[in-house]
Structure 1
Amino acid sequence: MSWMFIGAVVVLIAVLVLLVVLPWLKQRPEQENLTQANIAVVKERLKELQREVDEGLLSEQDMRQASDEIKISLVEEQQTDSKGSANASFVLASGALLALLVGGFAYFKASNIEHLQDAQAALDALPKLSAKLADGQGENFTPQDFQQLTLAIRKRLQENPEDGQGWMYLGRIWMVLSQTEEAYAALEKALHFSPDDENVRMTYARALMMSDDKAQLENARRLLASLIEEQQQNDNLVLMQAVVAGRLGDKVLLADSLARLEGKLPADSPIAMQLTERLASLNGEQPAKAAITGFNLTVEISEELVANLPDNGFLFVFAQDANSDNRMPAAVLRLPLENLPLTVTLTSENAMAPNYSLEQLSTARLIARISTDQEAPAQPGDLEGTTEAAVENGKVIDQTIVINKELM
């Protein structure tokens, strides 16, 4: 487009020269001839005045006055012509300058220089931003990152619609935005245009693993098989294959993948435990029950507060992280108040959230509270006791809590 614009500018300049400059240059000899003719007429008139004086028809004083008037008229006429020529030159120069300025501005806007500079900067940042997406850091993306990435990919695909890398980057964006169908379509194009690119196949396989559709999972298995064949020592690919096999219910492939990963994953790795349990389930075995982490808590009350026990109340027993200001319970129990002392078991099975339980704590703050209200928040008049204890994963530890204060 820029070459077409330059050609149009050249043509317009040529037209400007033909229509304005050449006629102006043509007028200059005519003006010079007219000036010479005026001078000749003045000289002839001065000779006539001198002849009239010699013949006694005109006095010397009248002759001088007439001569001065003729000379003044000639000077004024030349000044007028000079001003007209100067004005024409000024108008021509101004018009040419204006044309150049307008043309330059139009070219600047038409070629979108600022936009191209931004696009180039985005293209330079594209690999880094895309790698950030691939590493699962999409939640750390700023609006500027997304704007840069989108601009770069749009520019890249506009210039080369068959750019497999560009379609892969676009697929990664769609995955971060949870637009799975659009992501699959973009990654399918990436694979079509770059079938041998390892990054494209890896990205597509990782995206397909998230699907619940069996056909998509089969595609993921096919892609991973080809990648593993080329990268025999890549344990990450084998782990991905194990996950896909587990989701497909392929116990042979799952067992083979786990055998290849034996000793390479931590024994307490959640994904390793899940895959092992999945294989046991596919083989019809009852998976071993995971060891429970928690406390056997004996709840007592001090003699001073026995008289303050409500006739109808509730007992809350819960655990918090003793090493932080986080007051969210890692485990909680609520039960009708009975005679004290009594013993309750508080474990990771009593977690309020699946990703936050006693296993995540090293030291627990254990709290027992008696309230007339069945709602958890503390209120004046509640009776409470607290103790702290170390958490040992896979073990249930005996502890005692004495309720010894009334909340004010």
Structure 2
Amino acid sequence: MIAFWLIIAAMLLGALACVLPPLLRTSARGPGQAHAALAGLMIALIPASALTLYMRIGDPVALAMQTAPLASPDRHADAPASMEAAVSRLVARLRADPDDAPGWAMLARSYMALQRPSDAAEAYRRAIALNPRDAELLADYADALASANGGDFNDAALKVIDSALAIDADQPKALALAASAAFDRRDYARAIHFWERLGKAPDLAPQIAQQAQKNIDETRALAAKGSDGSKAKAASIEVRVRLSPELEQRVRPTDTVFVYALADDGSRMPLAVQRLSVSQLPATVRLDDSMSMTPNRRLSDFSRISVDARVSSSGQARPAAGDLTGSSGAVSSKDAGVIDVTIADVVR
């Protein structure tokens, strides 16, 4: 599974790295360049949208928190650098031509591929200001806003989703995001409503329709367990996180800290995630069932868990060499009290 996602990521990076440089070398605008911009946009859009939609329908934040080892570090080592250079040239071109809506959209999707959601959200905002009736663009913007907010749907993201669906009631990504947002609020009836609409959207890929139906079935089962009283009380744990004094000189106050619970079944898919900054440490955070990424993987579904904390100077969810980490080890999710996690190790 991990190899599959790495291949997808490499394909996306490779496509953008190949398409952006020849596009940016064109200095005069004309019909030929417009076609080149459209082709580049489609190549960037198709894999990025498919990946993001799958993540939102299945488990949005969890996939980003996978901690399996990466491929050999020197393999495709120049791809991110090449993409960064291409993005820099695109930024320069947009400064000279700020009314290029497809260019802003391409920049936004490039930022998402580089895991820079805050920059992506700003680029989407510029694109939408020039093209406010594009429902797909609005859905992408909402996704970037949520990603920049640690995967949580804030009021701004919810308003953008509503705007997208007001323009196109069958926009697949907007429906998927609306369903995920409702599920996060534990509004299961509304989540099912949006997933049912997604499943009936025209020209929907069969695998997405199947995933939507799976989510519907699991959410109905979850809602039924809650209504008949047979489900155990929703789990909630308190985690006290601190940084080892020996590592204080290796961090900055603005570095990101991820705190997440893992099941004892060997999966690296988090059951719940919180994000804070080094300046907030030491801190006590709460992890609970409302933070579940999928209906069938919640804290209350597992009696034994572990809680990990990791400092990322880049702010990226994927672990990298030099990150600082710590773990509680296996503990009970039912009667653990306050779980202590000390960040005292360095990722090699």
Point out the structure with max Rg over C-alpha.
Answer: 1
Greater helix fraction, Structure 1 or Structure 2: 1
Q: What TM-score, normalized to structure 2?
A: 0.39
TM-score (normalised: structure 1) = 0.34
Structure possessing the higher relative contact order (Cα contacts under 8 Å, 6 or more residues apart) = 2
